[in-house]
Amino acid sequence: MKKLLLSIGAGLLIIGAILVGMKFWFKPDLVYKRNAKKAAKDLASASKVIEDEETSKIYTFEEASKIYKVDQSLLLVNQEHTIDADFPSDIVEYKDTGVLMNSCITEHYSDLSAAVSEKIGDKLYVMSSYRSYEDQQRVYEEEGAEIAALPGTSEHQTGLALDVYVSEFAGAGFIESDAGMFVNEHCYDYGFIIRYPYGGESVTGFTYEPWHIRYVGLPHSKIIEESGCLFDNYADLFEIGKYYEYYGYEIARMPEDRIEIPKDAQDVLLSEDGLGYVFVTIKTAEK
Ligand SMILES: [Zn+2]
């Protein structure tokens, strides 16, 4: 009898485990939601309050941007948060190649492609980088809504996203190559993320795109990697106005009219998130 009860118990446990597994199998985006919750908790435990008038100063975004470096690295662009046709993307040419990208990513893309050459022995190419609103309109009309993003909803318009490939492995096939595996595993170390990961479709609006890398900068890419959350939910992890310590960085998300910066901060970067707030990223230690 005891044996029978035990095996019934074990059976129920196994069925339970299968049901839980199935829940995540059918709805992989639940994993991202669960991860985001945990990440917010982890960040909260790494937080630090700076509210001493002696040690910090309050600025508006306009004031702060005259003193500190500003880039567009943390701008959220998706179907809900669109950019206008005349959005002033900060575009430069990459190493006389004719490839246009956002000025904040050139150095980091150069490092990533050098790592692919060095570690994998393959050459990384850019299939598509900056696309103007008009270019996107044309792509949308040619390829249709199934494949192309609606103008104003594409990260390519910011120059922060790159579609990369190596010889013989492009598009979905990119992940079949060693270089594709390397980029998908290690782009986070160079400030990039896989913007549309597997299973995130119900949030991102895109199925897995192993070739589409998006620059967000360090340490944000590492936090996204370690927490397993989606960039669409990233800003929500932060409590407004609070500083978080993270591996040699201090980061905070501040309202545009009240940006608090420690007076002794040296290496400060300001990035608008497109949601009405500004990320402050301060490098506190050499890596
Ligand atoms: Zn893309």
Indicate the number of domains in the chain.
2
What is the percentage of the chain residues whose pLDDT exceeds 70? 95
Q: Is residue 226 part of a domain?
A: no
Residues 66 and 129 in one domain: no
Cβ < 5 A residues, ion ligand 1:
163, 212
Rounded Cα–Cα distance for residues 68 and 71 (Å)? 10
- The CATH number of the domain holding residue 209 is 3.30.1380.10
Same domain? For 240 and 144 the reply is no
Domain membership flag for residue 55? yes
- Residue 43: alpha-carbon gap to chain centroid: 16
Q: How far is the CA of 254 from the centre of ligand 1 (A)?
A: 29
Least confident of 14-18, 83-87, 148-152: 14-18
Structural domain that includes position 94:
82-215
Which band of pLDDT confidence, cut at 50, 70 and 90, is reported for residue 223? very high
CA of 213 to the centre of ligand 1 (A): 7
In the chain the first and final C-alpha atoms are separated, in Å, by 62
pLDDT at 108: 98
**Residue pair 224/231 in contact by the 8 Å Cβ criterion:** yes
Give tens-digit pLDDT for 127-180. Answer: 999 999 999 999 889 988 877 888 999 999 999 999 999 999 999 999 999 999
Q: Is the pLDDT of residue 287 over 60?
A: no
Label residues 55-93 b or e (16+ Cβ within 10 Å = b). Answer: eeeebebeebeeebebbbbbbbbbeeebbeeebebbeee
Centroid of ligand 1 to alpha carbon of 227 (angstroms): 23
The three-point CA angle 123-129-130 to 5° equals 155
End-of-domain residue from the set 185, 215, 245: 215
Kindly give the distance from the C-alpha atom of residue 219 to the centroid of ligand 1, in angstroms, as a whole number: 22
d(CA 163, CA 213): 6
Ligand 1 geometric centre to CA of 37 (Å): 28
Say how many Å lie between the CA of residue 210 and the centre of ligand 1. 10
Q: How far is the CA of 162 from the centre of ligand 1 (A)?
A: 6
How many angstroms does the Cα of residue 138 sit away from the middle of ligand 1? 15
In whole angstroms, give the CA distance from residue 130 to residue 111.
Answer: 19
The stretch 204-224 carries a mean pLDDT of: 96
